[in-house]
Amino acid sequence: MTTPPIGELRVTVRPIRVFDDPVLREIAEPVQEFDRELRLLVKSLTATMRAGAGRAGLAAPQIGEPVRVVVYSYDGKSGHLVNPRLELSERRVVADEACLSAPGVWWPLERSYLVTARGRDMFGKPVTVRALGVLARVLQHEVDHLDGVLFSDHLAADERARFLEAALPG
168 Cβ neighbours under 8 A, 6+ residues apart = 18, 19, 20, 102
What b-and-e string marks burial along 81-101, b requiring 16 or more CB atoms within 10 Å of the CB? bbbbebebeeeeeeeebbbbb
Active site residues: 142
Q: Which whole-number Å values give the CA distances from 57 to 51, 115, 145, 156, 170, in the listed order?
A: 12, 15, 11, 24, 27
First to last CA, the chain: 32
Phi, psi of 45 (to 5 degrees): -60, -45
CB atoms within 10 A of CB 108: 10
Q: Distance between CA atoms of 13 and 8, rounded to whole angstroms?
A: 16
Q: Distance between CA atoms of 75 and 36, rounded to whole angstroms?
A: 29
